[in-house]
Amino acid sequence: MPVDRDAPALLPVNMLERVPEDHVVRLVIDTVEAMATPELTARLVPAVRSRRGRRRYDPVMLLTLLAYSYLRGVLPSRAIEDRCRHDVTFRVACGKLVPDHVTIARFRKLACSQDGLMEELFYAVLRVCAAAGLGRLTVVAGDGVKIGANASKEANRTEAGLRKLAAKIMAGAAAGDEPGAAGAGEDLSGGEGLGPGWADPRSRLGRVRACLADFAAQREAAEAARRAQGQAWLDAQAAGQPVTKPPACVAVDAARIGLEQEVARHQALVDEWDRKRAAGEKTGRKPVPVEVSRRVARQRERLDRAEATARAQPAEDEAGEPEPGRKKKKKKKKKKKKKPKPVRNVTDPASALMPVRGGGLKQGYNCQDTAADDRLMLGGFASANASDTVHAARLEAVALKGARVVAGAHADPGHDVAGCHARMCTTKDPGDPGHDVSACHAQMIRAPGVIVFDAGYCSEANLTAEGSVDRLIATGNRLTMGKAAADNPATGPPPQDATATEAMDHKLRTPQGRAAYKRRAPDIEGVHASIKDVIGLRRFSMRGLTLATGEFLLAGLCHNLLLLSRLTRPGAPETSTGSARMPGNYPQLAGPPGPGRTCAAATHRLHLALAGIHQ
């Protein structure tokens, strides 16, 4: 067949007719337009600095374009601009307008930086998905995923390196022609003498100062913690409790506190003797001055020894030599590994080095999220702390908040309980006449049945923490727990004299606990696979903890829209009653039906959910 590229093409007059009625772009357009309340739209409009220039783009259109781009795995702003020129579905999403990449990047930053805006959008989409029949809460899984920051790990500097870099930048500013920069800026942490361009917190020197301030805050917090431990050791010693030698990390602080207390005690004796002498009372022998007190001298010697030991410890660690007084072993010389010094990233001070699976480190964030038993993401946040242990309580709160949104959507008066139950119920025969549909549906969506965590969250505090939801925290890896459950299965509640770890191990060896924990990997790891492989969020586009959290929630929002699009695709199986278990196409959610847009009866549940946002 000959190819004629000059042949005229008769395209539809209506732009929406260029894409099928069941295409996902229609779902995104309808969902975003339904969520775009006047208050939300006003928050998406940047402050007007000048009336000059061209008219701004519709923020609802930009939000639609951004959501559809992430859903299609197109994240760079230049790639989005290119798709708006050549891709039909992108042209439908942007209404044949072509916003440039700078506008797209600025709008994404504005949307993610607004306090609570992206979280509000996320929960609005979550309610839509729940009203359409998603959100089985019998098992809720939580986990973390490491996502790279928009920064290189080679940009990390120690505190000494940061001070050298700051001095270099200050020297360059002083040598330049910047107004007010010459001879200024001796205080690297304050920045009072910097010129207008150099005082910008987004500048390189501003990021260096932020890193130095973080180092100072961390040092003060560590010093306060050591002092508290030293005080606790002294209190135990004063109370007559059996104590051992104070830990090396708090020995200096314990000795310093002991010296301060001894000086204060002796000075109180001297002041009391002077008071009695002035009042004419019987005084007895006058106490010696504080400077010559033997007890104060002993405490001062103890402090000197502790400080000398603390000063010698770093040098000993670096040299790999044995402690003083110990003989050197001649057989094998094992050099002690140098303890890595704390570093901060100059490009993105909020990010941190994260260990990754298979070994190695990468600069990024530890993104925590939770998912329902049908992989519906319930919420999440980004953190610069690489440890999962400290996030268990906050992650549980996020799961409960998302579960309340899901339960509220399922409790809507117009919700199709029978159709939703037929899709969500996991019993062998959900159509059994003896099966209570309402009770089973309420049990699946009322509240989380159990929250499941892997071994990264296992700690004494998390195992013993009180909560409104039952927790299952792995005490080992998958193979060891599976072998223990097969070799030594358990039933009933754990023994009353069992420790927290033993009690959790007992629960994991029960058939119910084993079945619930098996749902963890498919649920939460499936969400992570969708975010990283389908949406393509392996590295954040923006810098800072707030922007990283906003972009992570944007990716989770798009993941939930993907689930909704699969739920609403044509050809869905039918329930036992013969009604469509999944809606056949996407509804028109606002305004009267127009050409190219449908509102089928099969999508009435979704229509009610989205229309309820405006109420």
464-488 confidence digits (pLDDT tens): 998 888 999 999 888 888 888 888 9
Q: What is the pLDDT of residue 336?
A: 60
Q: Which residue has the higher pLDDT, 587 or 350?
A: 350
46-89 confidence digits (pLDDT tens): 766 656 767 889 999 999 999 999 999 999 999 999 999 999 99
Return the percentage of the chain with pLDDT > 90, whole number: 36
250 part of a folded domain: yes
308 part of a folded domain: yes
362 in the same domain as 239: no
Check whether 186 has a pLDDT greater than 70. Answer: no
508 in the same domain as 428: yes
Residue (of 460, 420, 459) closest to 580 by Cα position: 420
Q: Which residue has the higher pLDDT, 198 or 160?
A: 160
Q: What is the pTM of this model?
A: 0.76
Check whether 307 has a pLDDT greater than 90. Answer: no
Region of 320 on the Ramachandran plot (φ > 0 left; ψ -120 to 50 alpha; else beta): left
- Residue 311: what are its φ and ψ, rounded to 5°? -70, -35
Q: How far apart (Å, rounded) are the C-alpha atoms in residues 462 and 464?
A: 6
163 in the same domain as 104: no
381 in the same domain as 455: yes
146-181 confidence digits (pLDDT tens): 999 999 988 888 888 888 887 887 777 666 545 444
394 in the same domain as 503: yes
413 in the same domain as 278: no
Helix (H, G, I), strand (E, B) or coil at 270: helix
391 in the same domain as 340: no
Q: How far apart (Å, rounded) are the C-alpha atoms in residues 328 and 324?
A: 10
Q: What is the pLDDT of residue 334?
A: 59
378-407 confidence digits (pLDDT tens): 999 999 999 999 999 999 999 999 999 999
Q: Where are the beta strands (DSSP E) in 61-102?
A: none
Neighbours of 477 (CB within 10 A): 10
**How many domains are contained in the chain?**
3
Residue (of 441, 434, 411) closest to 138 by Cα position: 441
Q: What is the pLDDT of residue 579?
A: 30
Cβ-contact 227, 253 below 8 angstroms = yes
Cβ-contact 379, 116 below 8 angstroms = no
Residue (of 436, 399, 406) closest to 421 by Cα position: 436
2 part of a folded domain: no
Q: What is the pLDDT of residue 607?
A: 46
557 part of a folded domain: no
Averaged pLDDT of the chain: 80
384 in the same domain as 521: yes
Residues sharing a CB contact under 8 Å with residue 127, sequence separation 6 or more, in sequence order: 405, 406, 408, 409, 609, 612, 613
139 part of a folded domain: no
Indicate if the alpha-carbon torsion angle 94, 100, 101, 104 is positive or negative.
negative
545-555 core/surface letters (b: 16 or more CB in 10 A; e: else): bbbbbbbbbbb
Residue (of 189, 202, 193) closest to 174 by Cα position: 193
Neighbours of 413 (CB within 10 A): 6
Residues sharing a CB contact under 8 Å with residue 290, sequence separation 6 or more, in sequence order: 263, 266, 267, 270, 296
Helix (H, G, I), strand (E, B) or coil at 568: coil
366 in the same domain as 338: no
Q: How far apart (Å, rounded) are the C-alpha atoms in residues 203 and 209?
A: 10
Check whether 91 has a pLDDT greater than 70. Answer: yes
508-517 confidence digits (pLDDT tens): 999 999 999 9
Cβ-contact 123, 432 below 8 angstroms = no
At residue 295's C-alpha, the angle toward residues 293 and 298, to 5°, is: 110
378 in the same domain as 301: no
Helix (H, G, I), strand (E, B) or coil at 370: strand
381 in the same domain as 302: no
At residue 412's C-alpha, the angle toward residues 406 and 415, to 5°, is: 95
576 part of a folded domain: no
Element of type H or E holding 377: strand 377-383
309 in the same domain as 182: yes
Q: Which residue has the higher pLDDT, 59 or 36?
A: 59
How far is residue 527 from each of residues 70, 534, 559, 601, measured CA to CA in Å?
15, 10, 7, 31
428 burial via Cβ count (<10 Å: 0-12, 13-18, 19+): exposed
191 part of a folded domain: yes
413 part of a folded domain: yes
Structural domain for 288, as ranges: 157-326+334-347
Domain boundary at 298, 315, 347, which?
A: 347
β-strand pairing of 450-453 with 377-383: unpaired
How far is residue 446 from each of residues 136, 405, 438, 440, 563, measured CA to CA in Å?
9, 10, 11, 10, 21
Helix (H, G, I), strand (E, B) or coil at 453: strand
